[in-house]
Structure 1
Amino acid sequence: MIATWRRRMAARRARKLELRRGDEAFEEVELTLPSEFKCPISLDLMKDPVTLLSGITYDRESIEMWIEAGNRTCPITNRAFGSLEPVPNHMIRRMIQEWCVENRSHGIERIPTPRIPVSSMEVVEMLDKISEASKIKDQSVCRKLVVKMKALSKESERNKKCFKSNGTGSVLAAAFEAFSETSSQDEENDDISKEILSALTLMLPLSVEAKSCLGSPSSLHCMVGYLTNRDLSSGWNSALVLRAIVSSDKRKVEALAEIEGALESLFKVVKEPICPAATRSSLIVIYHMVTSSHPAKDMIISRFVQMGLVSLLVETLVDADRSMSEKALGVLDGICDNEEGKEAVRDNSLAVPVLVKKLLRVSDLATEFSVSVLWKLMAIGESGEDGGGVLAEALQVGAFQKLLLLLQVGCGERTKEKATQAVKLLNLHRERLECIDSLDFKDLKRPF
Structure 2
Amino acid sequence: MAVERQRYGALLAVLCGAIFLEGVDIAMMNVALPSIRADLGLSTGALQWVMSAYVLGYGGFMLLGGRAGDLFGRRRVFLFWLTVFILFSGLGAIAGDGWTLITARFVTGVAAAFLTPAGLSIITTTLPEGPVRERALMIYAGTAAAGFSLGLVIGGVLTAIDWRWVFLAPVIFALCLLAGAIPLIPRDPRTTRSFRDIDFVGAISVTAALVLLVLTIERAPHASLVSTAVSGAASLALFALFVLWERRAAQPLVRLGILRSVRLVHANLTTLLVAAGFFGFQFVAVLYLREVLGWSTLETSFMMLAIGLDAVLAPTLTPRLTARFGHRRVIIVGVLLAVLAYALFLPVSPDWGFAAMFPTMVLLGVSFAFAYGPLTITATDGAAESEHGLASGLLYTSFQFGAALGLSAVTGALALGLHAALVVPLVCALLAAVTALRS
Q: The TM-score by the shorter chain falls in which range?
A: under 0.3
Q: Mark the structure with the bigger radius of gyration.
A: 1
Could you tell me the TM-score, scaled by structure 1's length? 0.20
Specify which structure has the higher proportion of helix. Answer: 2
Which of the pair has the greater relative contact order for Cα pairs under 8 Å at 6+ separation? 2
